[in-house]
Amino acid sequence: MKERLAIIEGWRSPFCKAGTEFKGMQADQLGAVVVREVMANSVLDYADIDEVIMGNVAQPGHAANIARVIALQGGFPVSTSAYTVNRNCASGMESMTTAANKILAGEIDSALVGGSESMSSVPLLYSPEMTKFMMQMMFAKTPLAKLKLLSQFRLSFLKPVIGIEQGLTDPVCGLNMGQTAEVLAKEFAITREQQDQFALNSHQQAIKAQQAGKFADEIISVAIAPKYQHIQHLDNGPRDNQTLAALAKLRPYFDRLAGSVTVGNACPITDGAVAFTVMAESKAKAMGLTPLGYLADYSYAGLAGNRMGLGPAYATAKLLDKSGLALSDFDLVELNEAFAAQVIANQCAFESKEFAQQYLQRAHALGELDPNKLNVNGGAIALGHPVGATGGRLILTLLHELRRQGLQRGLATLCIGGGQGAALALEVE
């Protein structure tokens, strides 16, 4: 990038497991709360923001171009343009890198970016048979024609298509995300115990961070619609009482016969939203602002859909090449925990020379992912993974942790359903 993107400030909602506290709130509502609070807390005024760009994966039917709906509900005037981006699990990051491109191209000066997802609200759908049946019913004019059609109705038409399951399945390779994790577990011979241990660790780190009040730096409290009886202040995913024994009891979910990926060592589906204000570093300097941090560079990379979990390795390789940085230049790493198996597979791939040579066209390994630098405040296994928002949370959590520890540079990377990876180089000064 020819100039760094200044991330002026950012906040997120608590992340709540789907079907819990935020189950009555749609993605636009949740996103709007965060946008409203970001702007209320902002040194900038609504008028200072040129465009709103939000990431969202499920794209709810009632809010086409959800970014626009979020912007208006979040208090933006009608004159502020807005659009939605979708790069599946990286949508929260895509909003920021898209803004970076537009800002550095001189198209806009500043943007509000982020992502929002309500996985509670992903609907059940009518099957194609049912849809066809209802269409024909509408077109049937005479009672006789209707009766004739009715005789063709089968109870099986009523079986719904589960939207969330469909959304988490790669249509090209035909595998569910969990099944792609199984592929990696087999490729890298990752045991069930390794995965469970990793999951336990994620919960413990998250609980530690929560109890230390670290997340309070990044979370805004959300009054829970539609009843408004309570206000949610914390993520509800991390389990204080999680144990290996409890994790060991769970049955493999995606490959019931010979698998090792369970709901315990995978991230839960989750509701949440995040938002930032961004502008060019030079503009922030000219305005005398102190940004939360900077986006120094980024890369996206593609790979086979059935091994999508390795996206971070591919994208990081590209980022290192592009930026001239080495993995050791990064003081902290946030690597999204879609599945424990997938993170461990990346750890293996990062430090493997063979992997680098075979898949990344590199002579040397990327480098070791030091456990002391990796996801130090837990990850998605504990906190959850609202697909459209997670990318933003990684950036937010990483920047705050860099600041807390007085460090300089961090890597935020995640795997993307469909076979992609994203890697962002972030800096605080």
- Active-site residue set: 89, 385, 415
Q: What is d(CA 204, CA 57) in angstroms, rounded to the nearest whole number?
A: 29
Based on the shown chain and the rule CB under 8 A, indicate whether residue 23 belongs to the binding site for other proteins: no
Query: Least CB distance from residue 160 to other proteins, whole Å?
Result: 24
Q: Is 75 in the site for other proteins (CB under 8 A)?
A: yes
Q: Kindly state whether residue 73 participates in binding other proteins, applying the rule CB under 8 A.
A: yes
Reply yes or no: is the peptide bond before residue 268 cis, omega within 30 of 0.
Answer: no
CB atoms within 10 A of CB 285: 12
Q: Is 78 among the residues that bind other proteins (CB under 8 A)?
A: no
CB-nearer residue toward other proteins: 137 or 225? 225
- Under rule CB under 8 A, residue 79 binds other proteins: no
Q: Are 180 and 306 in contact (CB under 8 A)?
A: yes
Report if residue 143 touches other proteins, rule: CB under 8 A: no
Q: How far is the CB of 377 from other proteins (least distance, A)?
A: 23
Q: How many CB atoms lie within 10 A of CB 423?
A: 29
DSSP summary character for residue 78: T
Question: Tokens representing 9?
Answer: 């400030």
What span, in angstroms and rounded, lies between the C-alpha atoms of 176 and 103?
A: 36
Specify the DSSP class assigned to residue 76: -
Site string for other proteins, 32-61 (x = CB under 8 A): xx--xx-xxx---x----------------
How far, in Å, CA of 356 to CA of 238, rounded? 34
Q: Which is nearer to other proteins, 34 or 315 (CB)?
A: 34
Of 106, 143, 213, 226, the one binding other proteins (CB under 8 A) is 226
* Binding flag, residue 216, other proteins (CB under 8 A): no
User: Could you say which of 136, 221, 323, 352 contacts other proteins (CB under 8 A)?
Assistant: 221
Q: Which is nearer to other proteins, 30 or 295 (CB)?
A: 30
Using rule CB under 8 A, residue 225 touches other proteins = yes
DSSP state of 160: P
CA pseudo-torsion sign 35, 41, 43, 45: positive
CA distance 27 to 426: 27
Candidates 150, 223, 246, 326; binder of other proteins (CB under 8 A) is 223
DSSP string, 91-143: HHHHHHHHHHHHHHTTS-SEEEEEEEEEGGGPPEE--HHHHHHHHHHHH--SH
Contact with other proteins (CB under 8 A) among 10, 18, 29, 279 = 29
| Residue 231 near other proteins by CB under 8 A | yes
65 makes contact with other proteins (CB under 8 A): no
Q: Is 302 in the site for other proteins (CB under 8 A)?
A: no
- The footprint of other proteins (CB under 8 A) covers 29, 32-33, 36-37, 39-41, 45, 73-75, 221, 223, 225-231, 233
